[in-house]
Structure 1
Amino acid sequence: MRRIIKGYTLLAFLLVGVSSFAQEKQLTPWERLAARPSTLGIEQGELTFEAGNLNVKILKSSQTLSSLTLKSDDKFDFSPKKYLQKRSADGLYQLGDINIRLKTANGDWKKYSTAAKRANIKALPTTGNILAASDLANTLPADLPIKITRFWEKSGNDLVLRFEIENNSKADVELSSVGVPMIFNNILDGVSLDEAHAQNVFYDPYIGMDAGYLQIAKLSGKGAALLVIPQGKTPFEAYSPLLDDPTPRGITFEGFHEWMVLSKAHANADWKNAEQWNEN
């Protein structure tokens, strides 16, 4: 009888252990994402601006977008504000980030991204129509041979996101891929059809070089749409999926893409077996 009792006791202990282990493994992809350490600095607050018909909020820590609404409809947010805290770890792209591939003489392509390892940017003085400016060196690797400065500006009724890229090394640098992640609220996870129509957007890209544009429209099809167009010489050369962003993709989220101004490095490596949409 003692042996039987001990046997059952041992079996019960093992079952509890297996059950606890199974519960740990049953975390959803979004719960696993939310469990990552937050590095974006959301707790440091926001900067708020107006640009024409838009209300704009950027984080003080990173100067990446945290909210984008219309003055005429401030309840609809084009940005994924709802998911900002869950998407605040390293490697998760925000509007205001930049991806670059470059190489020096006889070197290999190297990839750099402001999203890879978060750190507070260095805010710079602003004048005129410049809403915010920052030196991005703190959030980029120390071996990067170029200097990148980012500006949020207003131009008439428009909001402008501008980057200045300068070679600050003594060697020649070939800059062959430059992408700006287009991060808007196309995440449908956990919402009903009616909620999705009221809260979410869909993307409509025209990869037309200097005539290219990206339309971000409400999923309902009603009301004003947001139009992203080139400012100066910023051709829409390619539209690349951001497959390294860990936001869970699936039926309710197709993923994010980036507006590629230059795409030669991608064409020579990632897309070498595909026909290119535009010459690069």
Structure 2
Amino acid sequence: MAAVSEPENSGVPRRKRRRVWLIWLAAAWVVVVSGLGAWSVRRDAATVPEQRDIVTAVGDLQRTVGVLFAAADGDGRAVVLGGLDMVPDCRVTPVRRGMIASREVTVYVAEGEARTAFDAIAAGLPSDYRAEVSELRGGTRLSLFADAGNFVAIDGDAEAGAGALTVRVTTGCRPRGGTEPDRADPVPGGAPVALSALVNALGGTPSEPSMVTAVNCPEGGVAATYAVDEVAAPAGFEGRMREASAGGTLLRADESVWAYRLDGDSVVVVPDEKNVRISVSSGC
């Protein structure tokens, strides 16, 4: 009987080639998935807060504050821009620490105008923020909320009869990034003439602002609040303030605060027993 030889294309080499092909296919798939993941992190909206660290979140927050300030500034409202506040320690998860960034815009309004102001701010925000104003506790309390995207929130609440509304933008707790967040404000123009004029009217010596907070406007330009601290409270303070605010739109005038709009700027004066703090804000 003639000997039978094994076919050249036996099953062993074929299985080996298949394993090699599968290894290469798996490696290629890993590269594709990794590339898509990296692209998604850079391009797609975050689906959980942990996807955007505090370095990135601060940039999101600052842009949102610019949008909020532009919406809050307007007739019948005097605004003050606060500085960036960083909470250095929070819990992203029970075992992972992070940071929180927030910033406030304070809005002064005439008596009985709190709801009107919140409604105007909500209407001035982009439609995709889905801003809502709610009445709570039988209409005695107001709440504003908006979602700016990337887990940055806008919120404010106040008594219905409040004359000062604080609206806050916050990131929530975020993982620390590889670098420190950029805390610097943009560089604004010079202080409005109203600031030095008011310091002079109150018997002080005009000088450079003791604090300047600024933010980029959504359509370009920079909005800012210029503040002067510790101007000595003069005799006849109320009379001086009435003279200084003449020609403007007076919103608040009581022992805790004077707030008015003059030539498009917001002017806020907060007295205490010995000094006054003056803030003048230029809008977008």
What TM-score bracket applies, with the shorter chain setting the length? Answer: under 0.3
When normalised by structure 2's length, the TM-score is: 0.26
- Larger helix share, 1 or 2: 2
Q: Which has the higher contact order (CA 8 A, sep 6+)?
A: 2
* Bigger Cα Rg: 2
